[in-house]
Structure 1
């Protein structure tokens, strides 16, 4: 699954294990002079550009994330690949735009979205000598379409290059509400098997439809099915009582697993993809974070996110790993307030601007759908500062391949470009063009932003969430330097530019391999 190596590593896994067991030095970087750095990728859910202090948040304090920003490289024009989570995660781990797989938000019982023959970020790094782990929200499907939650659950992360996985299988608002460690549901009693359905009710567990009085939060019809921990979810679930999670325990359980992975692999290069559930709905922060913001559960979940981040920083410091570890902190898509549950996210917002100066949010074609906070922190290597370079998460794959000395094949990560100098603060010139995915496709070219016509204006479900989707029957063109809020459509004034940018999208769509001359 990995590309061709450009530095010397023993050729087989067994030999690599023997290599470490004999006390030899860990693999070196492509320069051959320094050990490979550990990589921790903190991937927060639904965190908007303006949701943390370093990006202008009000009503909530984020001292640990701000510490990363003050002592690392804070990006102002960094983007996830899509305005929703499953497509962004697919692109992050494959280096391929999600439209190539027609990736959309998956139900909780969907089969594995990434083909096991596809090269992945984890597999590439594993081939470079890293031990690889994923902890937290997955939402890329599991199994082959006929999944029995009571047996070995595969294919999954272990078949995609990860050595260890501890998962929230899809999202907190979808059943099954259980953890999966490697191939098994955690704490499952064989005498109480799990059944999951997204089509019809199963079992006798109450639902929000039948027993609304049992809910701790009012939910919309989609989120009003099986009740677990007082919260109605999407989908129906029977059995698995001993395996059910308690949402408020997420920060401690996930941080415990992430910390254990770091500690157990301290003597060898490791890659940890730490995928937070926060601040996705349902927002149920641990009691010690309740009331720590002025914005109710959504703000308190941001405080919880900050604490979790701080614990990882402290763990690395305590183990003496900080100076040989790069932390990448970012989000899977833009912010959303009303996303299925009534938790006063709108009413208690106050002066806080989740998207900062940008328009839209999660699901949206406007800039706030994909422009997210991103920080690169590596003490002693990355100098503190701010980068205004256009950077896409799609490029994390190739950039980390460059860091690890891996040469990618033409079939691998075909949309990912090596912008390691930008990531390390050695260069300020990032991408010239970047695709932004939502229900339609947009293209950034410098400060120009083209939004391809959708065929109809914002769907009802978008407007019902209070979101400006940016979906129109006509083309849209904005100049972000002068109009960051995307309020002045210049399409009629620059038809030639629209034609040229549409042609570039079509060129990208048609690409089947990595181009010989990489498009920056």
Structure 2
């Protein structure tokens, strides 16, 4: 099998950079490889953090992280929805190649187990790997009904993680339980869990029955919900999908952040005494709906539960950073903070968050997308331009960078750092952007793809959007073929396709080449 070198520095020089030594005579590169922690927010927009302009949501811990590393102002997730972005982050492959969309409850694992993933890459280099938090990439086999009362697999462990502690899907979908490795936490075998698409699917004698939000809206006591979040009502909140059973295993909405943080602290404490580097993927459920921040955070902002949940997420970031410092691991740990897509406001729950459906409306003075147009589900910049911070005290000097970077390129960049090579069929859309991530390149990638219901391609400050017809509950008009100059028009208000037909044709051709080709590394 052909191997693709992703190195941009000679191996010897790279050791010098990583170890920070004048000589490598007595040093071993492997012993000084950095730990890696990815802190992944959910629906966190570019403008939801202080360093990117937020005035109404205090985020001192995230700001401290940014001020100690590089804050990328043109950093992107690969897609404007969560499942595709998570797929691309972990595989280095654009999700549209596998038709990956937002998954329903009980969906099977959508990441092929024979593909290289970030945890598999790190395991090659002797790392311990762990995932804590929201999953939403499916669990179980295609065509086989998932048995929530037995071994729930395949899942993260088959993708290279040594340990997993999950919210299996999302917090607005059933089942509303935690999963540690293959088993539901605190499950009573006398109250088995069933998950289905209809109420009839889960009306199994002997299992706890939950109200149907469609026929019993009074059961939604936490707050009311719409947009299909009105199936099984669990903990007074309507969900997508139906479940029965598992009462002893149910999570408490208001303590999910605390549970994930405590799991993370225990993991970091354990790794502090191990003689091996680690990779931790911490995927928060905040600030995804249903937002139910712990009471100690409620009222922390004037923006309802969405703003309060962001304060809770900032607290979680601070706790993780404090734990790394407590165990003496902060100096040689790469911490990456980002989000799976841009912001969304109501998204189905009446949680005192003002609906924001267009750039003309305001959310009490706060716009989670900042100056950028759109948000979650949308092909405009607000859909994929998200917070993107890289901190590595042993190697990176604090800075703000305008380099064009994407989460999909983390795989090739990490391969560069840990001295691994990618085969031609591994991480096919991932290109090393290590020099930008280290603050040594102010440009980043020449081309970058953004995905929603259609695709867009960036070339520097130019953006071409292919025509598409998104079907979603905000009932948007079809997206026309568009070309924007983001340097002059960052809010994408002036379509200049007619003025620059040759440039539009060039970018369209580049996008088609990527779609039809074997991957970004080969195409460009």
Q: Is the deviation greater in 502-511 or in 170-179?
A: 502-511
Normalising by structure 1, report the TM-score: 0.91
SS at match of 2:334: strand
**Paired residues of 1:59 and 1:350 also in contact (CA < 8 A):** no
Aligned to 1:229: 235
Aligned to 2:335: 327
SS at match of 2:231: coil
How many angstroms does 1:6 deviate by?
11
Q: Find 2:260's aligned residue among 254, 262, 270.
A: 254
SS at match of 2:173: coil
Q: Is the deviation greater in 212-221 or in 323-332?
A: 212-221
Aligned to 2:90: 93
After superposition, give the CA deviation of every residue in 1:433-479 in whole Å (9 maximum; x if it has no partner). Answer: 0000000000001111111011x4x545134xxxxx6842x311100
Aligned to 2:70: 73
How many angstroms does 1:70 deviate by?
1.2
- Asked whether 1:435 is paired with 2:449, we answer yes
SS at match of 2:423: coil
d(CA) in 2 for partners of 1:209 and 1:475?
39
How many angstroms does 1:429 deviate by?
2.0
Aligned length: 489
How many angstroms does 1:4 deviate by?
9.3
d(CA) in 1 for partners of 2:147 and 2:271?
32
Aligned to 1:461: 473
Superposed, 1:15-54 pairs within 5 Å as: 32=29, 35-54=32-51
Q: Find 1:478's aligned residue among 479, 484, 489.
A: 484
- Asked whether 1:490 is paired with 2:520, we answer no
How many angstroms does 1:31 deviate by?
8.5
Aligned to 1:113: 110
Aligned to 1:122: 119
- Asked whether 1:239 is paired with 2:276, we answer no
Aligned to 1:386: 400
Aligned to 2:17: none
- Asked whether 1:504 is paired with 2:510, we answer yes
SS at match of 1:450: strand
Aligned to 2:188: 189
d(CA) in 1 for partners of 2:59 and 2:235?
28
d(CA) in 2 for partners of 1:33 and 1:428?
29
Q: Is the deviation greater in 417-426 or in 505-514?
A: 505-514
After superposition, give the CA deviation of every residue in 1:127-167 in whole Å (9 maximum; x if it has no partner). Answer: 11110000000000000032111110110000000000000
Q: Is the deviation greater in 333-342 or in 197-206?
A: 197-206
Decide whether aligned partners of structure 1 residues 285 and 296 sit closer, same or farther in structure 2, where only a CA change above 3 A counts: same
Aligned to 2:358: none
Decide whether aligned partners of structure 1 residues 122 and 33 sit closer, same or farther in structure 2, where only a CA change above 3 A counts: closer
d(CA) in 2 for partners of 1:275 and 1:315?
17
SS at match of 1:110: coil
Q: Find 2:435's aligned residue among 398, 416, 421.
A: 421
How many angstroms does 1:5 deviate by?
11
Superposed, 1:87-236 pairs within 5 Å as: 87-145=84-142, 146=144, 147-201=146-200, 202-203=202-203, 204-215=209-220, 216-236=222-242
d(CA) in 2 for partners of 1:211 and 1:194?
21
- Asked whether 1:450 is paired with 2:450, we answer no
How many angstroms does 1:420 deviate by?
0.9
Decide whether aligned partners of structure 1 residues 501 and 136 sit closer, same or farther in structure 2, where only a CA change above 3 A counts: same
d(CA) in 2 for partners of 1:126 and 1:4?
19
Aligned to 1:274: 282
Normalising by structure 2, report the TM-score: 0.90
Q: Which runs of 5+ in 1 are unaligned?
A: 8-27, 464-468
Aligned to 2:326: 318
- Asked whether 1:345 is paired with 2:345, we answer no
How many angstroms does 1:190 deviate by?
0.9
After superposition, give the CA deviation of every residue in 1:294-347 in whole Å (9 maximum; x if it has no partner). Answer: 111000000000000000010001000010101000000000001010112117
Decide whether aligned partners of structure 1 residues 4 and 160 sit closer, same or farther in structure 2, where only a CA change above 3 A counts: farther
Q: Find 2:61's aligned residue among 49, 60, 64.
A: 64
How many angstroms does 1:199 deviate by?
3.7
d(CA) in 2 for partners of 1:206 and 1:34?
55
d(CA) in 2 for partners of 1:290 and 1:447?
39
Q: Is the deviation greater in 155-164 or in 263-272?
A: 263-272
SS at match of 2:314: helix
d(CA) in 2 for partners of 1:508 and 1:207?
45
Aligned to 1:12: none
d(CA) in 1 for partners of 2:347 and 2:137?
20
Aligned to 1:24: none
After superposition, give the CA deviation of every residue in 1:217-269 in whole Å (9 maximum; x if it has no partner). Answer: 11115000111111010000011111111111111110111111111112320
Aligned to 1:466: none
Aligned to 1:18: none
d(CA) in 2 for partners of 1:132 and 1:250?
22
Decide whether aligned partners of structure 1 residues 280 and 324 sit closer, same or farther in structure 2, where only a CA change above 3 A counts: same
**Paired residues of 2:82 and 2:341 also in contact (CA < 8 A):** yes
